[in-house]
Amino acid sequence: MITALAYSTIEAIDRSAWNACFPGELEDWDYYRAVEQAGIADFRWRYLALYEDEVLVAAAVAFTTAYSLDTTVQGPGKRVTEQLRRWWPGLLDVRLYALGSPVAEQCHVGTARQIDPARRPALLEQLLILARNDADQAGIGLLAVKDASHRDPQWLQVCQAAGLQSMPGLPSAELPIRFGSVDAYLGTLGKSTRKDLRRTLRAQGPRIEWRRAVEDLLPHMMALYEATLSRSDLTFERLPSDYFRQVLEYLDERAACVLYWVGDELVAFNLVLLDEQRLVDKFFAHDLTRTREHNLYVRSWLANVDYCIEHGIPIYACGQAGYASKLRLGCSFTGNTVFFRHRNRVLDGLLRLVKMFIRPDRSDPAMAAALSETS
């Protein structure tokens, strides 16, 4: 018999049991505990668990928040939604219960290793039912799945079978590391890109420092973070300084902060998660004026590629933004789908119309190109 429970803290679930449902994940129990402890404003965390004879057999991360429907809209579409907000404040803001996490690229749903694979779809369906019931108890009508990965077709099928509406999510980019040197990597790129990157490497670059504790630098880092966030059209969450502190503390050797210095001035930093299988680029913050002078984004990119080559890490996972650059830099893309359904049929029908205008690929040609190349 299955017992379905929802918790407000991941500490209510045994660490080893949780991680057994997500083998090989860098964003594991420790990561979500760090996120929880960071106190990110305007989000409440939920952890869904299915037990069979008191043994955890399936689990998922979820959250609740007040969500702006135009979060992923850019360009002309953003100007339209901003005008709508002036005419009708609150029109595009709804309470949301979502499986997934605002600080993870994919919705993590997992089953224990001992579970017969044939049972997995039924367990995923029960997790979705548990989410709907948990949302109902919280008085939230809109249920969503944030970024269901196309690498998990069973999860996609379960969401579709449940009658949820769908739209493309932001694709995940990664660079398979199949080369023995940075120069060999450059040889795989287009002529103009290769020329630009080699010119960058020949110029004097910033000093690079890898650290696993940054307490003394957090005020400077947060100034860079806030400046970077202010330039983004795709802002969902605002990370406090405790996020960076807690991730580095709880993940220990599996997290690092890469610092970029010009003289004694910190001009950029890159938070990464890493193990023997992948390096995950979580956030890159920089001084825009220094970026133009030193090409800091490219410097950071090449530093991460070089680190992967040197340490034999086969995958550089590089996020859900900057698709024009990542197309040029040789990335491959994995699709993600956003699913949603409102329990009110009228509002659900309205969302069916709204989604035609808020699809992220409608306002970003580079993103549309990346979606066309998803695996």
Based on the fold, state whether residues 318 and 284 are members of the same structural domain: yes
Based on the fold, state whether residues 166 and 144 are members of the same structural domain: yes
How does pLDDT run across 217-258, given as a tens digit for each residue? Answer: 999 999 999 988 887 765 668 899 999 999 999 999 999 999
| Sign of the four-CA dihedral 103, 6, 33, 307 | negative
Beta bridge partner(s), residue 3: 51
Confirm whether 316 is domain-assigned. Answer: yes
Confirm whether 90 is domain-assigned. Answer: yes
Based on the fold, state whether residues 178 and 322 are members of the same structural domain: yes
Based on the fold, state whether residues 45 and 162 are members of the same structural domain: yes
Q: Residue 347's pLDDT is what? A: 80
Helix (H, G, I), strand (E, B) or coil at 371: helix
Confirm whether 320 is domain-assigned. Answer: yes
Confirm whether 374 is domain-assigned. Answer: no
Based on the fold, state whether residues 350 and 306 are members of the same structural domain: no
Based on the fold, state whether residues 221 and 146 are members of the same structural domain: no
Domains in the chain, number: 2
Q: Residue 88's pLDDT is what? A: 47
Instruction: Tell me how many helices (H) and strands (E) the chain has.
Output: 14, 15
Confirm whether 372 is domain-assigned. Answer: no
Q: Residue 367's pLDDT is what? A: 63
Based on the fold, state whether residues 56 and 205 are members of the same structural domain: no
Pairing assessment for the beta strands 44-52 and 2-7 based on DSSP bridges: antiparallel
Q: Residue 148's pLDDT is what? A: 96
What is the DSSP secondary-structure string of 66-130? EEETTTT--HHHHHHHHHHHHHSTTTTEEEEEEES-TTSSS--EEE-TTS-GGGHHHHHHHHHHH
| Residues in Cβ contact with 57 at an 8 Å cutoff, skipping those fewer than 6 apart | 2, 21, 50, 51, 111, 112, 115, 123
Based on the fold, state whether residues 219 and 105 are members of the same structural domain: no
Name the residue range of residue 243's domain.
173-332
Based on the fold, state whether residues 236 and 110 are members of the same structural domain: no
Confirm whether 149 is domain-assigned. Answer: yes
- CATH code of residue 60: 3.40.630.30
Taking 70 as the pLDDT cut, the residues of the chain under it are 69-92, 233-236, 354-368, 370-375
Confirm whether 213 is domain-assigned. Answer: yes
Q: Residue 121's pLDDT is what? A: 97
Confirm whether 373 is domain-assigned. Answer: no
How does pLDDT run across 32-80, given as a tens digit for each residue? Answer: 999 999 999 999 999 999 999 999 999 999 999 987 765 555 555 555 5
* Residue 285: exposure state from Cβ atoms within 10 A (0-12, 13-18, ≥19): buried
Based on the fold, state whether residues 84 and 16 are members of the same structural domain: yes
Based on the fold, state whether residues 239 and 150 are members of the same structural domain: no
Q: Residue 170's pLDDT is what? A: 87
Based on the fold, state whether residues 183 and 246 are members of the same structural domain: yes
From the list 166, 143, 128, 125, the residue with the least C-alpha distance to 64 is 143
